[in-house]
Amino acid sequence: MAHLSSVLRLALSVFSQVTETPKREHLRLCPQDYTCCTSVMEEALARQSEKDFLTAIDDSSQFLLTTFTQKHRRFDEFFRELIDLAEKSMNQMFTKTYGMLYTQNARVFHDLFAELRRYYTGGSVSLGEVLAEFWSRLVERVFSLVNPQYQFSEEYLECVSKHAEQLQPFGDLPRKLRIQVTRAFIAARALVQGLATGRDIVSKAAKVNVCVCVCVCACWYCPLCRGMPTLRPCHSLCLNVMKGCLANQADLDSEWNNFIDALVQVSEKLEGPFNMELATDSIAVKVSEAIMHMQENSVATSTKVFQGCGSPRPAPSRSRRSPREQGGGRRPFRTYSPEEKPTTAAGTNLDRLVSDLKERLRPMKGFWVSLPQTICNDDNMAADVTNEDKCWNGQTRGRYLPDVTGDGLVSQINNPEVEVDISRPDVRTRQLIMELRVATNRLRQAQAGQDTDFMDSEEGSGSGGGDGGDRYSDEPGYGPYSPPYGKPPRNPSGQNKPPRVRDKTGTKWTRPNQGHGSRVKSGVSQLTSSLSIIAALLLTSFAV
């Protein structure tokens, strides 16, 4: 209706001057036949045609731009709140359960969530190393708590954390948590970044260079100069004009479709094996289970540590405190009950968000190549395909005879309506294609639980009982175990830890070789036999 109104306004303007207009004015765009228009009028019509053309592009792409903008904001809000809720719930539960012993060591947990947030928001963070550092710091704290009768130096605790991988004081839980958290956070960050990329691509691609498309005036407004203001252009004429003007956008089609497919696949992973809600909930659950595991096996673990790191000094009698004075002593951390778990964030849930996103993404495939058809199917822009004999064919009322050209820049060599230089591809379009390829590759890596920024660092990372060679499966928290033999272990100490002097005189723990026979395998099936395996290793590894 807006287009029709502008046509009528222009028609009134044209016809109000018809008595003063020569019948054979040489026009630049419209046919040089009987005309109601002067050159000045034609220029006005050309400017209006450019404006209407850009409006048609904006209107057609608005669904894409709105979807990407809203979904990016919605998912980002949701994931941020999930992380906040996970930290808040852990603090409340652990404070209630373990009292001062937790609050005195809450910095360890706060730092973990701070690093998770930093990764999610695009920071250069390796999730594997973040979790390794967390378990390394935690094993030192818990080891001190379960042995209050001793006084441990920084060097001694460094020895404990350094060899936690062999001891596996937390069982297999660090490995399970690492798998679940890393792939969920990688997928969540990749999806949000992908939605932002989609928003930016649409915004850039919709900005068409109208300088090469002033010929649309002949398509839409030249009938005015012939005294036929209500005559609309033939459908095929409209298509040829639009395909010429939007040739570069059509060349986005292949990479655009790959990008949309990748977004859908990552979103499906997030509601399935890479579920972000389950991953954030599992942090507190698995940490509490890990601490209980270490408490329940504290005697055996401490004995092995004393053999390997040396006998610790007894704590001064005045510093010894009863379990009650220490905030609950050996009272174990407990897991969440179902009614205590946070079930939603940002007023929704992940399944609902993903379902709505997929429903909106799938119709976007083929958008750019079908954009000319979308515009010309508008009754205000072109005549219906069934009205082939009563439409504007570029010269007069009648059938439009030329064939409709193909899609893309190369096909415009035979376009009868728009002159396009096919020898000079649009630089901006090439840049958009590259951006789409980069974004698609990142999304595809995320489907495999890999971060393109840390392709190597997420392999081999782990501490306190888990190797990092797991290959991602579709079962949350589990995966086949394949240790990266021959790979040196990553430094478990993070940037926040002060430097420590390692391997002081008197430490009897010698690091075993990195061969197949000297590594302790971790996994659910080995939990019951892991202590006997470690004991056998220690007999050959300790030099008393």
Confidence band, pLDDT 50/70/90 cuts, at residue 401: very high
Confidence band, pLDDT 50/70/90 cuts, at residue 68: very high
DSSP state of 472: P
The pLDDT score that the predictor gives to residue 425 is 78
Cβ-contact 412, 420 below 8 angstroms: yes
Q: Of 358-372, 374-388, 439-453, 522-536, which range is least confident? A: 522-536
Sequence-distant (6+) residues with CB within 8 A of 380 are 1, 2, 3, 4, 232
314 pairs with which residues across the strands? 150
Q: What is the 3-state secondary structure (H, E, C) of 384-430?
A: CCCCCCCCECCCCECCCCCCCCCCCCHHHHHCCCCCCCCCCCCHHHH
- Look at residue 30 and tell me whether its pLDDT is greater than 80: no
Helix intervals (H) in 273-413: 276-296, 298-309, 350-361, 367-376
- Look at residue 10 and tell me whether its pLDDT is greater than 90: no
Q: How far is CA 213 from CA 31, 51, 240, 246, 367, in A?
A: 17, 11, 11, 9, 20
Place of tokens 């652990």: 94
Q: pLDDT digits over 149-204, tens only?
A: 888 899 999 998 888 888 899 999 999 999 999 999 999 999 999 999 999 999 99
Q: How many CA atoms does the CB half-sphere of 533 hold within 13 Å?
A: 16
Q: pLDDT digits over 80-136, tens only?
A: 999 999 999 999 989 988 888 888 889 999 999 999 999 999 998 999 999 999 999
Sequence-distant (6+) residues with CB within 8 A of 219 are 49, 233, 237, 238, 241, 392, 394, 417
The pLDDT score that the predictor gives to residue 380 is 84
Q: What is the mean pLDDT of residues 27-43?
A: 75
Cα–Cα distance between 509 and 158 in angstroms, integer?
Answer: 12
Q: pLDDT digits over 192-242, tens only?
A: 999 999 999 999 998 876 555 655 655 678 888 778 888 889 999 999 999
Cβ-contact 3, 381 below 8 angstroms: yes
Instruction: Please tell me whether residue 534 adopts helix, strand or coil conformation.
Output: helix
pTM score, whole prediction: 0.75
Q: How far is CA 13 from CA 10, 24, 44, 138, in A?
A: 5, 19, 10, 80
Cα–Cα distance between 7 and 42 in angstroms, integer?
Answer: 13
